[in-house]
Amino acid sequence: MAIIEVTDLVKRYGTHTAVGGVSFAVEPGEIFGILGPNGAGKTTTVECVEGLRRPDGGSIRVCGIDPQRDRGELTQRLGAQLQASELPEKLTVREVMELYSSFYRAPADWRRLIEMLRLEDKLGTQFRRLSGGQKQRLSIALALVGDPEVAVLDELTTGLDPQARRDTWELIESIRDRGVTVLLVTHFMEEAERLCDRLALIDAGRVVAVDSPAGLVATVNDTQRLRFKPSAPLDHALLTELPEVTGVERAGTQLVVTGTGNVLHAVTTVLARNQVIAADLRVEQTTLDDAFVALTGRTLEETS
């Protein structure tokens, strides 16, 4: 039985449809990702799940609760980490945790949370004196302080340096290990690939696909990509007429050839016949990014 069920969710702002019929179901104990470019409707979708926005259509159930009908009960069982939400500047970490844990019926032990998030040295530090990563971790602590069944984390690692990002990923895994279902919003492929058990790919307010990262990659698995610098100018038609080749693109001094099957052998054969040497040749595996391109016809980077 799904712990989060979103069915045909629609949300409009004026004439603009931000979310146009999104459906997905999250199983208890999984890390479920919502992946898509900026402006795809990811945040609007989770804000409806959190009960912060009233949907214009469709239905949402979180732990069997309708977020609009029973906000009180929802907030006891769903913890939310919002994008860009601050705290009073001069409140210390200890004061924040004491205050926010007092809001809940059965709060988690906030001291253990603070230890898990490695903020125990910062208890007496005011919010304004915390680093970006520390603020982010405090924000996670607040999302978990009510001991929720579901945690919604929105663009958690945006603005963090690579090390802090990797640390945060470990943290999210440890949250899941505590038995909390995690709904993770992200526009980082690498993050989704590394963390999510399953994910919904969202583009322009619609779900393009729901699957595991491996499953999504498998839908376009056949594709390979070759990158190389040709030693001499080369007529693209020589390559495009090959049955294995699906696309040829120029990227600076490099050629990028996509294809299926034994495309590597086919291309190198043509190059050899024309006395062209492929310098810096690299063969790239399919990624989630490729899956996104295959499913939407655009790259994440282009759109975001």
Partner 1 sequence: MNVLYRLTATETKLFFREPTAVFFVLAFPSLLLVILGFVPPFREPNPDIGGLRVIDLYAPIVITMAVGLLSLNMLPQLFAAYREKGILRRMATTPVRPSALLGAQLAMAVTLSVGSALLILAVARLGFDVALPDNLAVYLLMYVLCLLAMLTLGLLIGSLAPTAKGAAAIGSILFFPVVFFAGLWLPREQMPEVLRRISDFTPLGAGVQSLQDATAGHWPQLLHVAVMLGWTIVAGALAARYFRWE
What's the closest the beta carbon of residue 292 comes to partner 1, in angstroms? 30
Token couple for 128? 């304004």
Quick one: 146 or 213, whose CB is closer to partner 1?
A: 146
What's the closest the beta carbon of residue 88 comes to partner 1, in angstroms? 5
What's the closest the beta carbon of residue 142 comes to partner 1, in angstroms? 7
What's the closest the beta carbon of residue 214 comes to partner 1, in angstroms? 33
142: left (phi over 0), alpha (psi -120 to 50) or beta: alpha
Residues 6 or more apart whose CB falls under 8 angstroms from that of 232 comprise 274, 275, 276
DSSP type of residue 127: G
DSSP type of residue 125: S
Quick one: 81 or 157, whose CB is closer to partner 1?
A: 81
Cα–Cα nearest to 185, from 79, 105, 81: 81
Cα 96 to Cα 88: distance, rounded to the nearest angstrom: 9
Quick one: 82 or 116, whose CB is closer to partner 1?
A: 82
Quick one: 14 or 162, whose CB is closer to partner 1?
A: 14
Applying CB under 8 A, which residues contact partner 1? 50, 52, 72, 75-76, 78-80, 82, 84-88, 90-91, 95, 99-100, 102-105, 142-143, 146
What's the closest the beta carbon of residue 128 comes to partner 1, in angstroms? 11
Quick one: 6 or 189, whose CB is closer to partner 1?
A: 6
Q: Residues of 42-54 as b/e, b for ≥16 C-beta within 10 angstroms?
A: bbbbbbbbbbebe
Cα 81 to Cα 138: distance, rounded to the nearest angstrom: 10
